[in-house]
Amino acid sequence: MNRGRKRRLMAEINVVPYIDVMLVLLIIFMITAPLLTQGITVDLPDVGAEPLDPELLSENEPLVVSIDREGLVYLNVGGDPDDPIDEQTLLTRVAAVVRQAPETPVLVKSDQAASVGQFARAMVLLRQAGAESIGMITDPLEVADVP
């Protein structure tokens, strides 16, 4: 009889499978992270504007209208975001999104070399589509640039 002798449990965890999974996830994230930055390359103007409220952007994915240096217009919703769209398509797509979710933030990202007329035309189309509040994406001023 083994009354005085107790059995000890083995409390070891094999962590090798967890390390393998973490390495695979790390590789996947390293490959996909550059692909997540979609959109058109735009040279944004440098202005001292306040950043947008992060809660506003976390609740709804914003509509981003991009205007490149040639004046071509792009939209991050519907179709390929790297293909330019015409004014009627912009009006239709934005109206559909705003009608479905009126609280969706609408932002304009315009190249500083684009004409003011193209920017103004995009703003008018967004208003016609029903966008109540329209913001502009800019680059922040460098500390040395502030007077």
Q: What confidence tens digit (pLDDT) does each residue in 36-62 have?
A: 655 555 555 555 555 655 655 566 778
What pLDDT is attached to residue 38?
A: 54
Amino acid at 74: Y
| CA distance linking residue 42 with residue 51, whole number of Å | 18
- Tell me, yes or no, whether 8 lies in a domain: no
24 vs 30: CA distance, rounded Å:
10
> Residue 122 domain-assigned?
yes
Range of the domain at 90: 54-143
| Residue 96 falls inside a structural domain | yes
pLDDT tens-digit readout, 88-130: 998 999 999 889 888 888 888 888 888 888 888 888 888 888 8
Q: What is the pTM of this model?
A: 0.59
Q: Is residue 3 part of a domain?
A: no
Tell me the average pLDDT of the chain. Answer: 78
Among 47, 68, 52, 40, smallest CA distance to 138 is for 47
pLDDT for the residue numbered 42: 57
| CATH code of 116's domain | 3.30.420.270
Residue 33 has pLDDT above 80, yes or no: no
Whether 114 is covered by a domain: the verdict is yes
Does residue 20 lie in a domain region? no
Q: Under a CB-based contact definition with an 8 Å cutoff, are residues 39 and 73 in contact?
A: no
What domain count does the chain have?
Answer: 1
